[in-house]
Amino acid sequence: MTVSGTPVQTASNEIPPGISVVVKSLNANTGVMTIGSSSANALNTGTTAFRLQPGESIELQVGNTLRIWVDATVSGEAVEFIFEQ
């Protein structure tokens, strides 16, 4: 994230059926990362975002990582994700 309050769509990666994507807030983060399926519901001031504290993760079933939007309460913080190919 470069600017808090500006949701970012993750890069495109096709995910095979039955494979999960794990999205993890970096351990070094100091704020909350918010995750959603659109810019509007990932916004860190919204009420529909899923909130990740530093080091927390969520497992998602999506066909493409483009469906994952991320925002941060602190500028410059990030998430990482992993999936099986």
Rounded Cα distance, 6 and 45, in Å: 10
Q: What is the pLDDT of residue 49?
A: 83
- Model confidence, pTM: 0.92
Tens of pLDDT, residue by residue over 3-17, are 999 999 999 999 999
Q: Specify the pLDDT at position 17.
A: 94
Give the pLDDT confidence of 17-75 residue by residue, as tens digits.
999 999 999 999 999 999 999 999 999 887 788 999 999 999 999 999 999 999 999 99
- Write the DSSP assignment of 36-77 as a string of letters: ESSHHHH-TTSSSSEEE-TT-EEEE--SBGGG-EEEESSTT-
- Please give the pLDDT value at position 68: 97
Cα–Cα nearest to 66, from 33, 37, 24, 26: 37
